[in-house]
């Protein structure tokens, strides 16, 4: 095999390995079916091939070949549309919805992963072409590591403190601390909630975090994740069992209540900490002069 052939092969393998490593099914349920794996692995292979072939193209000064990267970018944008449409359709039947903000974040992630695969293949192939085997293996390992780290955004545990909370009824009104959650009319329902329910308070660490947690999409993502990991007893036509997250309007703290299938407080706290901070929810008022002055 000539030098270019080996360069393409090394870059292709590195890119495919990176895509496989970034492809996993978890509580967010994407992808959740065999056809989803086939789709994303196929696109990952194409992305890896594009990145690997770019190295010989540049070496031979065939710059027109690189324009295929622009065409690929257009195709990968369609990946975002595909995921958005698929999850939006499923959303209609979710008892505890993800929310449109969470769905958009998931769709963006799948698009970005293909670009990371191109970068991994390109870096690995270029290193092999210039420096040979030992260095290309190190480059591949480093590129895969960087790609995986780039996919790990901030989580709620980075911006807020999550602590267990007590809840009680004021008449028929369920309250977590001083935060009103909902009205529960039936005595039997109130007794079941008191026996089996769990609640936590999410305390923002600064004004940036408070503004982020203020976002309704971020709160819905927290509710969905807690319900996905601990289960929920919510049923169609039974609003008493619905998990809910409401804000203390004075402090910005978020009170979360859930009636889970697995009533484990430690797991609930950990689940909330692991919720990703949505891109659409990120706010940084402290990055502005006005925001800092208002916080003082």
DSSP string across 66-133: GHHHHHHHHHHHHHHHHHHHHHHHHHTT-SS---HHHHHHHHHHHHHHHHHHHHHHHHHHHHHHHH-H
**Other beta carbons within 10 Å of 85:** 12
Whether 35 and 145 share a structural domain: yes
Whether 127 and 166 share a structural domain: no
Task: Examine the fold and report which residue of 104, 128, 152 is the final residue of a domain before the chain moves on.
Answer: 152
Whether 222 and 257 share a structural domain: yes
Whether 56 and 88 share a structural domain: yes
What gap in Å lies between CA 160 and CA 206, rounded to an integer?
8
Task: Examine the fold and report which residue of 98, 128, 152 is the final residue of a domain before the chain moves on.
Answer: 152
Whether 40 and 53 share a structural domain: yes
What gap in Å lies between CA 239 and CA 96, rounded to an integer?
11
Strand 244-247, strand 179-183: pairing: unpaired
What gap in Å lies between CA 175 and CA 55, rounded to an integer?
61
Whether 233 and 257 share a structural domain: yes
Which helix (H) or strand (E) element contains residue 3? helix 3-22
Whether 207 and 120 share a structural domain: no
Look at the chain and report how many structural domains it folds into.
2
- Contact between 75 and 69 (Cβ < 8 Å): no
- Contact between 53 and 67 (Cβ < 8 Å): no
**Other beta carbons within 10 Å of 226:** 27
List per-residue pLDDT tens for the chain, 296 residues long. Answer: 566 888 889 999 999 998 888 876 454 545 556 667 788 888 889 889 988 888 888 888 877 766 777 777 777 787 788 888 888 888 888 889 999 899 988 888 888 888 899 999 999 999 998 888 888 889 999 998 888 787 777 899 999 999 999 999 999 999 999 999 999 989 999 999 999 999 999 999 999 999 999 999 999 999 999 999 999 998 887 888 999 999 999 999 999 999 999 889 999 999 999 999 998 888 888 788 777 777 66
Given the structure tokens 């970034």, which residue do they identify? 22
Task: Examine the fold and report which residue of 152, 184, 205 is the final residue of a domain before the chain moves on.
Answer: 152
What gap in Å lies between CA 102 and CA 110, rounded to an integer?
13
Whether 177 and 87 share a structural domain: no
Whether 102 and 241 share a structural domain: no
Its domain, for residue 35, covers: 3-152
Whether 89 and 142 share a structural domain: yes
Given the structure tokens 């809840």, which residue do they identify? 167
pTM for this prediction? 0.84
Whether 101 and 217 share a structural domain: no
Whether 225 and 283 share a structural domain: yes
């Amino acid at each position: 095999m000539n030098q270019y052939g080996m360069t393409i092969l090394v870059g292709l393998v590195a890119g495919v390995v990176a895509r496989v490593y970034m492809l996993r099914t978890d509580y967010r349920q994407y992808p959740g079916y065999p056809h989803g794996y086939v789709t994303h692995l196929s696109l990952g292979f194409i992305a890896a091939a594009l990145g690997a072939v770019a190295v010989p193209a540049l070496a031979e000064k065939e710059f027109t070949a690189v324009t295929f990267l622009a065409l690929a970018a257009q195709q990968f944008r369609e990946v975002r549309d595909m995921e958005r449409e698929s999850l939006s359709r499923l959303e209609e039947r979710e008892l505890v919805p993800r929310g449109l903000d969470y769905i958009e974040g998931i769709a963006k992630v799948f698009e970005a992963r293909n670009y990371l695969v191109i970068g991994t293949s390109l870096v690995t192939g270029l290193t092999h072409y210039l420096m040979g085997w030992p260095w290309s293996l190190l480059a591949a390992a480093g590129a895969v590591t960087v790609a995986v780290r780039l996919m790990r955004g901030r989580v709620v545990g980075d911006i807020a403190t999550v602590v267990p909370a007590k809840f009680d009824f004021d008449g028929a009104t369920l309250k977590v601390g001083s935060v009103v959650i909902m009205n529960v009319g039936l005595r039997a329902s109130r007794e079941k909630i008191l026996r089996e329910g769990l609640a936590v308070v999410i305390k923002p660490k600064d004004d940036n975090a408070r503004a982020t947690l203020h976002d309704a999409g971020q709160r819905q993502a927290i509710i969905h994740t807690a319900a996905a990991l601990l289960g929920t007893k919510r049923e169609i036509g039974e609003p008493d069992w619905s998990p809910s997250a409401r804000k203390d309007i004075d402090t910005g703290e978020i009170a979360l209540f859930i009636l889970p299938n697995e009533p484990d407080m430690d797991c609930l706290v950990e689940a909330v900490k692991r919720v990703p901070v949505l891109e659409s929810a990120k706010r940084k008022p402290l990055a502005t002069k006005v925001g800092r002055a208002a916080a003082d």
